[in-house]
Structure formats: structure tokens, C-alpha cells
Structure 1
């Protein structure tokens, strides 16, 4: 279940002043007591080691979502940054029937994501929340951030694939006092000492030392191909016709993107511009499909299709992440 708090939040703070630990409290409209946050993980490099104070000048309570939020949020962090750049805001349900019009052009968002013990994914994704960042108590290197983002992606897929299972792996992941299996932490010392020197990577490195856009394009092409196989009419379970129509539209778009990626040549100005336009226009539709599948998976009538929906969720999430990564390289 995904809970979006960007409209309901009144204010509060989150702190990553202790490496490997994120703590704080958030005040939500419609809640009598503040929500206490205690997560294993770190902020991204832009605010790592800092205390971040939040204030929402235009709160609008979403009582349905707030009712699902536990007063104690313990679990592990996802991507948490104050410099998340997007051109178009994702389509989400507007709280209270009101929607604040987003400004045109490139927007800098506050993006806070975490997963709690209740099997929920909580998001604060907003451009209008006022942010005050304190001085950092410690520094994170670019290599450490890259490793952390890969681990966050793995955690997100793990959550999507296991959110409806009551297995021991999920209990071990979220149980208080036990180490996070994706990134062990020793809070008494440097949390990055245990990271391997040569982290495995699926991307080729360019001669300049950066990530090769062609390798990113090939990885995205493979993600799209696997997603298309999931929507094969022979194996697609009988879900709601409207959902099948949405996924079919996304599958057609995936075929178009695969064609564009096959003809993409890094450094070619025309190919780069066309691919940027295709990716920017496709992201909102993939985001809408991901949100719709998530809501569908939470309904009791979909119990028989739970595993298939989890694979579709993981596929859509992987595609969305790869698209954003490729966009950051070719813009």
C-alpha cells in the first residue's frame, strides 16, 4: 500500500545526523499526535548528515490516508533527497478534492520515501513544502551514494514482491534490533566500512569514468522487454477490463520506447532530443499504471492474481527508475 503524505503534512523534522539512522517527528493534519519516525538508512548525498525541517504552507488533510498511518514509523528508508528533479509531476489522487497547480518547467522536489513494518510505502513528494537544511555532521561520497541507491532499488523490489507474504524474510528485514540484510550497519562506527570495495554493477563504464548512456539504454530495453512478456495475453489473468486496457496502452508505449532505444546513439543530438521527449512523455503514464496496479493489488478480490500483480509492480517500478536514470544522463 502506498500512502502519500505531501498534502497532509503540516510540518516536522527528519534527521540523519547519526550515520545509518534517520529519526524525527512529523505533524499530520487530522492526527492528534505527531508521527515518530525511526528508520535504518541514510539521506541522499545532498542532505546526508543533516537535520531537515519541514513546513507545509498549504496543508490539505487526506483523512483516509492519515488514518492508515501508525504513530510510530519504524522500518527502513528508500530514496530521501531534497533535490529530486522532474519536469512533470506524477498523477496522484488529490486530497480533499483540491489540487495545487504545479509550476511549468523543471521542478525541484522534496522526495522522502520509506517502508514501515506495516507493509506500507510512505511518500512525501512535493515542490511547495518549505525546507530548511542544517549543517551536515558527516559527509557521504559519490560512490557511497551510488551503492545506497542500488540498495534502495533492491529494497523497493523486495517490498513489492513480498508485501503480501508473511515469510521470515520480511520479518527479518523489518524486525527491530535486527540488521538490514541489504546494508548492514554498525552505528558505533562508520556505516560504510562493510561495503565491498568492488560493488557489482550492470552498467558499463565509459572512458571518462562515468556511466555509459548506451548501457543504460540497453538495460531499460531489457526491462521493457520483460514487462511486455508479463502482459502476454496467454498468461494475463482475468483482471478488470479497465486495468487491462491501461496496461495494454503501457505495453504499446513500451514497444515504441524499445524501438527508440534500439536506434539511440549516444552523442547524436537529434536522437538524444527525441529520446528525452519520449521518456518525459512516457513517465506519467508508467507512474499512473504503477499506482493503479498497487491499488488493485490491495483489494481482497485480487487474491488469486497477487503474484502476477506483484511481478507487474516490480516491472513498472524498474522501468520508471531506469527511465529516470537514463534521462539524467542524456538531458
Structure 2
């Protein structure tokens, strides 16, 4: 199962201006501290080399318990991170995914009006799409970890 904290997201900033790195921070309802991201990887070609400001509508008051256990330092690998702009290599809406060393797969889906691209992305013509084989390997590692955790918890 993936974390899907899009309803808890208050605001955030993600930066891919350094090649091969995605850094930034996110604030969530239910967490007193900002979550810091330090990920290996890239944004998709539509926004690679730029930054994203995330300003979704205020979270619904669903209680604060969903974010319980979510680590405030997220390290790991960037998954599919796109604003859904052309060239749309994945989906046609803002989609933020990463594979956390501590929390597994995290997915945030937003509406186009909830994000702002800051800076100028690199030229689409000079960039390769995100490697689907690498993304498949990210998912495979995540699912293997889920299976291992299930096997360990069932053997107790």
C-alpha cells in the first residue's frame, strides 16, 4: 500500500535544479514539522530542471491520525514527478511520487491549479523521458518490501 497524503498536504516546494536530485519540503496536517525530501532522481521532462510550488486547497478536517508514523526526513528515489504538461510522458495532471527508505511509496495527486512551476525547465528536445525500466525496478523493490513485511508479520 502506498501513502497517499494529498488530502493532508498544506503546502510544499520541490526542486530539481540540481541534476539527479530532487530536494524540498512539504507541510502536512497532522505533522508538527515540515517534511524534508532528499531524493535521487529527476522530474519528468515537462519540468526537469525547474522547481514546483505546491499550494492545494486547505486540507479537510479528517483528523490528524493519517500522517502518524510518517518520517519527517524522506530519503530514497524519485518516482514519477510531473506537472502533467507537454511533453506528457506519464499523466496529464500533477503527480508526485517517491520511494522512501522509511515509508515506502508515497503518491500525491493534485489539480493543475494547485501547482506553480518556478524557473525554466530544460529543453524537452535535449532530455530523455524518465526511464520506465528504472521506475519498474523502484516499484518491484517496494512490492518486495511489502511482501517481506507481510511474511515477517505473519510468522510471528
Give unpaired runs (5+ residues) of structure 1: 85-106, 167-296, 305-331
1:125 — aligned with what?
109
Q: What's the counterpart of residue 157 of structure 1?
A: 140
Question: Which structure's relative contact order is higher, taking Cα pairs within 8 Å and 6+ residues apart?
Answer: 2
Structure 1 partner of 2:100: 116
1:52 aligns with 2:35: no
Secondary structure of 2:77's partner?
strand
Q: Is the 8 A contact 2:15 2:22 kept in 1?
A: yes
Alpha-carbon distance, 1:118 to partner: 1.5
The structure with the largest strand share of the pair is: 2
* Cα displacement string for residues 232-266 of structure 1 (whole angstroms, at most 9, x for unaligned residues): xxxxxxxxxxxxxxxxxxxxxxxxxxxxxxxxxxx
Task: Select the structure that is richer in helix.
Answer: 1
Structure 2 gaps of 5+ residues are: 86-90
Q: CA deviation at 1:145?
A: 0.8
Larger Rg belongs to: 1
Report the counterpart of residue 281 of structure 1 in structure 2: none
Q: CA deviation at 1:10?
A: 0.4
Residue 79 of structure 1 corresponds to 80
Whole-Å Cα distance in 1 between the matches of residues 61 and 39 of structure 2?
24
CA-based RMSD of the aligned residues comes to: 2.8
Query: 1:161 Cα shift?
Result: 2.0
Describe the superposition over 1:266-323 as per-residue Cα deviations: whole angstroms up to 9, x where unpaired: xxxxxxxxxxxxxxxxxxxxxxxxxxxxxxx5994xx36xxxxxxxxxxxxxxxxxxx
Q: Determine helix, strand or coil for the equivalent of 1:17.
A: coil
Q: Residue 43 of structure 1: SS of its match in structure 2?
A: coil
Deviations 1:104-144 (A, max 9, x none): xxx94211111111151111012276111012363455772
8 Å contact from structure 1 (residues 17, 138) kept in 2: no
Residue of structure 1 equivalent to 2:23: 23
Q: Distance in 1 between matches of 2:54 and 2:111?
A: 12
Residues 6-25 of structure 1, C-alpha deviations (whole Å, 9 max, x = no match): 11000010000001000000
Instruction: Determine the structure 1 residue equivalent to 2:71.
Output: 70
Aligned counterparts, 1:255-266, within 5 A = none
